[in-house]
Structure 1
Amino acid sequence: MDGLGGPIHMGTGCFFQRRAFFGGPSSFVAPESPELSPTHVKTKPIQSSEVLALAHHVAGCNYEAQTNWGSKVGYRYGSLVEDLYTGYRLQCQGWKSVFCHPDRAAFLGDAYITVDDLLNQTKRWSMGLLNFMAHSLHSNHYLCLPTPTSSPQLFLNLPKGGTLQGWWNSQRMWMVRGLSSFSFGLVEYLLSSLGVSATGFNVTSKVVDNEQSKRYNQGIFEFAVASPMFLPITMAAIINLFSFSQGILQVFRHGSFEALFLQILIAGFVVVNSWPVYEAMILRTNKRKMPMKITLISVILIWVLYLASLLTF
């Protein structure tokens, strides 16, 4: 995870050498504006009028007009994954990155804890990564996005103090995101590439109340919003539960366990992963349950797919 120029830059908690934003490590490239040089006014007191004037100038962002700032110099804009894109471009210029993992946590922050916010965030990331990949291929740059998931991640986590429960939650969420936010992100990216729709930026909420925090710490999924991204998750949960039940029934009726073993194993794995969905659809009675609208639409869509399969095959 620390190869090919070092770890990738994703999100908060990253320190940069200031001159990394002005050029490569071997040859320093002067910024377009002398006032933005790394050595400019560094000897002046912070209360000086010159420093305060420059701070107001930078905060207004007017200095970026008609310049390379945000595209070739400084933090790179124009991407839904601007952190990853910036780190990637800096590595292309020759900069190296390293992990800094002190015993005491260096950063504490808030993150989304509801399923809806999670899926909206990862949908935006998936669109940004697709755009990032297309730009990199168009620019003839090498692209490396290592993503260890599933079983190998278990062994990566356990030497580093991870837990089996942590791995289980991680791979379960990869399945949820693969069915929902990644698929929706792909469709939305294709539509925006064709000019059918514009790329939007949905800000995820970081506001958390005490009840939400309590449910999050208990591992309870929040399904209070009737989001379209819940449809494929619910459909997959219902289809695999039905398939698993039919497989077990066939074994008891005909004793063909060997022939159905792999199908039962895969369907059963999805059923176990989908337990929070079943709980939200059937067992939960509070306002955090799966909206009835999502359940009904999922059943209708499954029935339509079933009828279509009968006509096709």
Structure 2
Amino acid sequence: MGRTREMGMDGDICSRALVRLLLDHHSVGALEPHLSFHSHRKALSENLYEEMADRIDSVVMLGKIPKELKENKGFSEWSSGMTSRNHPPIVQILIDERDQYSIDSDGNALPTLVYMAREKRPQHHHYFKAGAMNALIRASSEISNSPIILNLDCDMYSNNSESIRHALCFFLDEEKGQDIGFVQYPQLFDNVTKNDLYGYSFNVATKVVFPGFDNWGGPWYAGTGCFHRREILCGRKYSKDYKEDWKRGIERKTAKSACILEERAKSLITCTYEHNTQWGQEIGLKYDCPVEDVITGLLIQCRGWKSVYFSPSRKAFLGVAPTTLAQSLVQWKRGSEGNFQIFLSKYCPFILGRGKIKLGLQMAYCVYGLWAPSSLPTLYYLVIPSLCLLKGISLFPKITSPWFLSFAYVTIGKHVYGLVESLQCGNTLAGWWNFQRMWILSRTTSFLYGFTSTILNLLRISKMGFAITAKVSDGDASKRYEQDVLELGSSSSMFVIIGAVAMLNLLCLVGGLQRLVVDGGIMGLEPLFIQILLCGLVVAIHLPIYEALFIRKDKGSLPLTVTFLSLGSAVLVSLLTMV
């Protein structure tokens, strides 16, 4: 079952989905790669996107579905009084594999394809992606009830037709296949720049981190590129005598007409269907968590199931990574916020997973659960040593002290190891440096916001929201992205923090060096050497930020308001330190 972005008449995400039901006991034809796929894809996608945007805008202006679209049965049910947030359930079987005319150009039978729009009403919470997935699970159970479900994000596509066969090899393995709940493929992107500007290549995670999960029970559920057993998504617990029924649904599907299947599926995707049920709790994807995929995978593994991570040489699924810094930071905020929420809840891996999953897997989950609070020590090391340098206060051992060796060993060893590992996994030197920048930027903004939001939510001061990551940029922004130029161009409060930290370190470095030259000369460098080096590295890593603050004139530069606030904050803190 593939998931697409659900676009309503007002262009917002709503409860309309296009479902592809896989493995319904038919053969799946191979996908022939186009010889010049990438060169044609860009031109085609730009033209198609503009055409689609124009059509959506026209529909929004009209406030109703055009007559030519109403010839399609699915669209004909959309009336002028319906909106993306207020409409009844709609289900239409677009392609029925039982139909003798449903064949491709080579004469092969096409798989069943279904259009679905779950019911939405303003007075009922729809639970975003988790709600859409649960509705799709129920609707597909009536139409196909196939034992395996593929979950694929709306901005991803299949790049390897063998991925289905590979997943089935794990599920059908005679010795270990019966305890595998899902097969997770890596989440990869086809628009990552050569030097990986925003750190989305995930090469180290793909080739080192996630393969290591297999020894502890398998990786977590990443939310896309994942093949699940249907029964585990419906809450089934693992048992040694479990045996998959690979013939399920054949009689049900062949015995009913398309109209009957559509009507029965509609009854399963109404707003009130889940009331007083375990859907969203023990059944389906978990509700009330920004990272519904992670917590759902944890619950599945705590029910005794294992998972498998598989990364074939030909990438199985490819998607679209954020192309601006703002988009990236919003996405990192949601991830850190959701994982920290899990860590502080009854679903904490050390609590829920005790005696159910291995200690190594519990620790692996908690590494991500502690993303958000890691913002605090990061901010400390970015601010306090620099302020102490400005004040002339030494925080670290002198170069001549034996204790200096321990600091040097840990710092140099950690970064050299990370650099070598990154280069071995296919990253460039510039890509590794860009990742270090994103490591700092995300922890001083996204993770800090995620930490604050989670704490405020626990104290019931504010309610946690769900931010959707937009991944469409204008032409100029796309060109800058391809040239590995940071795209800021927003007055976001996150950028004020980034600018303030950058300016504070620059002022402290200049002020600290000036104080040393005037007061102590070159010999005064020894007690403050580590702080000078640390502050200098922070300044070097923020060089693109200084360009965006003072040099660049394009739309990707920082607005004057951000420049003034950043510079003002840094100057104020520096003056207060010197008092």
TM-score (norm 2): 0.48
SS of the residue corresponding to residue 223 of structure 1 reads: coil
Q: In structure 2, what is the equivalent of residue 15 of structure 1?
A: 227
- Indicate conservation of the 8 Å contact 2:477/2:556, yes or no: no
Q: 1:205 to 1:250 in 2, by over 3 A?
A: same
Is 39-48 or 233-242 further displaced after alignment?
39-48
| Candidates 116, 119, 140, aligned match of 2:351 | 140
Q: In structure 2, what is the equivalent of residue 6 of structure 1?
A: 218
Q: In structure 2, what is the equivalent of residue 41 of structure 1?
A: 249
- CA drift of 1:38 comes to 8.7
TM-score (norm 1): 0.86
Equivalent residues in 2 for 1:204-283, closer than 5 Å:
204-250=469-515, 252-253=517-518, 254-255=521-522, 256-283=524-551
Q: In structure 1, what is the equivalent of residue 317 of structure 2?
A: 107
1:38-73 Cα deviation digits (max 9, x unpaired): 975344249644433343334446432211111111
| Candidates 190, 196, 209, aligned match of 2:461 | 196
Q: In structure 2, what is the equivalent of residue 24 of structure 1?
A: 237
Equivalent residues in 2 for 1:76-115, closer than 5 Å:
76-115=286-325
Taking every aligned residue pair, what percent have the same amino acid on both sides?
Answer: 34
Is 177-186 or 41-50 further displaced after alignment?
41-50
- Indicate conservation of the 8 Å contact 2:220/2:294, yes or no: yes
1:87-123 Cα deviation digits (max 9, x unpaired): 1111111222222212222212223221112222222
Q: 1:122 to 1:83 in 2, by over 3 A?
A: same
Alpha-carbon separation, structure 2, partners of 1:169 and 1:42: 52
SS of the residue corresponding to residue 16 of structure 1 reads: strand
- Indicate conservation of the 8 Å contact 2:281/2:287, yes or no: yes
1:117-154 Cα deviation digits (max 9, x unpaired): 22222222222112111112498224433469973543
- Indicate conservation of the 8 Å contact 2:501/2:570, yes or no: no
Q: 1:8 to 1:139 in 2, by over 3 A?
A: closer
1:176-227 Cα deviation digits (max 9, x unpaired): 0111111122122222221211111122212233322221121111221100
Q: In structure 2, what is the equivalent of residue 32 of structure 1?
A: none
Q: 1:38 to 1:306 in 2, by over 3 A?
A: farther
SS of the residue corresponding to residue 249 of structure 2 reads: coil
Equivalent residues in 2 for 1:155-174, closer than 5 Å:
155-174=420-439
Name the aligned partner's letter for residue 226 of structure 2: C
Tell me whether 1:309 sits opposite 2:577 in the alignment. Answer: yes
Tell me whether 1:299 sits opposite 2:574 in the alignment. Answer: no
Structure 1 unaligned blocks of 5 or more = 30-36
Q: In structure 2, what is the equivalent of residue 34 of structure 1?
A: none
Q: In structure 1, what is the equivalent of residue 276 of structure 2?
A: 66
Q: In structure 1, what is the equivalent of residue 190 of structure 2?
A: none
Structure with the higher helix share, 1 or 2:
1
Alpha-carbon separation, structure 1, partners of 2:263 and 2:247: 16
SS of the residue corresponding to residue 171 of structure 1 reads: helix
Q: In structure 1, what is the equivalent of residue 333 of structure 2?
A: 123
Alpha-carbon separation, structure 2, partners of 1:95 and 1:159: 33
SS of the residue corresponding to residue 226 of structure 1 reads: coil
Alpha-carbon separation, structure 2, partners of 1:53 and 1:157: 53
Structure with the higher strand share, 1 or 2:
2
Structure 2 unaligned blocks of 5 or more = 1-208, 354-361, 375-413
- Indicate conservation of the 8 Å contact 1:19/1:38, yes or no: no
Q: In structure 1, what is the equivalent of residue 142 of structure 2?
A: none
Is 285-294 or 247-256 further displaced after alignment?
247-256
- Indicate conservation of the 8 Å contact 1:41/1:51, yes or no: no
Q: 1:208 to 1:298 in 2, by over 3 A?
A: closer
Greater radius of gyration (CA):
2
Name the aligned partner's letter for residue 172 of structure 1: R
Alpha-carbon separation, structure 1, partners of 2:423 and 2:548: 31
